[in-house]
């Protein structure tokens, strides 16, 4: 993964990514591609993001070891594992029971004891633990979910893809100020869409 050549300069983020074995989070028949700079399919029609996008999102989140982070869309668990190396605690929400079980198993195997996960509708966030100084969303919505905006602390940062179609999405950084929200576009992306509700996949 040539992330430095791609312009990623945050040494803490690079170190965290290097410490997380991506091959543990991909499907067995994709293990030979685990360290390629590309997104890969996982179960339930979801994906594990390419390392470059993980690095960009994590860098833009500007997290430190005193913070708690809310992640919407656990997926394979890879992004949460990277964040666990950078922050005090990760709260992560997943709508697919089977994905959540596999991710939780990976967190245990890798001794990531500062990750707390739950099954739920990500658009509702995690109100019991709000406010969050940092929120990261790994599925695209047409607009930022209102519940997540409310759960973002004043002075906090949210990173998420916004767009209605695969071909029209932007990764954005939202900062909450005393008077409202400031939005800045980072780069075009392609994420799976955010879907409301909890899936019944057993």
Catalytic residues: 49
User: Which residues lie closer than 8 Å to 55 by C-beta, 6 or more apart?
Assistant: 3, 6, 8, 10, 13, 14, 17
User: Which residues lie closer than 8 Å to 130 by C-beta, 6 or more apart?
Assistant: 70, 150, 151
**Joined tokens for residue 156:** 């906090």
SS3 of residue 123 by DSSP? helix
Q: Give the CA distances from residue 116 to residues 57, 60, 72, 104, 188, in Å, rounded to whole numbers and listed in that order.
A: 20, 22, 12, 9, 30
As a whole number of angstroms, the distance between CA 65 and CA 38 comes to 28
148-182 core/surface letters (b: 16 or more CB in 10 A; e: else): bbebbeeebbbbbbbbeeeeebbbbbbbbeeeeee
**Joined tokens for residue 8:** 């990623």
């Amino acid at each position: 993964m040539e992330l430095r050549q791609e312009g990623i300069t945050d040494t803490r983020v690079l170190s965290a990514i290097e410490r997380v074995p991506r091959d543990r989070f991909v499907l067995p028949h994709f293990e030979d591609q685990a360290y390629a700079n590309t997104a890969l399919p996982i179960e339930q029609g979801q994906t594990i993001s390419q390392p470059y996008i993980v690095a960009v999102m994590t860098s833009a989140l500007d997290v430190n070891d005193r913070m708690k982070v809310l992640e919407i869309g656990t997926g394979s668990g890879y992004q949460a594992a990277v964040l666990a190396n950078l922050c005090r605690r990760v709260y992560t929400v997943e709508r697919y029971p089977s994905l959540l079980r596999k991710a939780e198993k990976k967190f245990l195997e890798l001794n990531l004891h500062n990750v707390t996960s739950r099954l739920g509708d990500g658009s509702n966030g995690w109100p019991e633990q709000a406010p969050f100084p940092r929120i990261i969303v790994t599925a695209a919505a047409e607009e930022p979910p209102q519940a997540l905006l409310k759960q973002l602390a004043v002075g906090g940062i949210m990173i998420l893809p916004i767009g209605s179609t695969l071909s029209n999405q932007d990764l954005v950084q939202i900062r909450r100020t005393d008077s409202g929200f400031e939005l800045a576009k980072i780069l075009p992306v392609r994420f799976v869409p955010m879907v409301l509700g909890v899936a019944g996949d057993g």
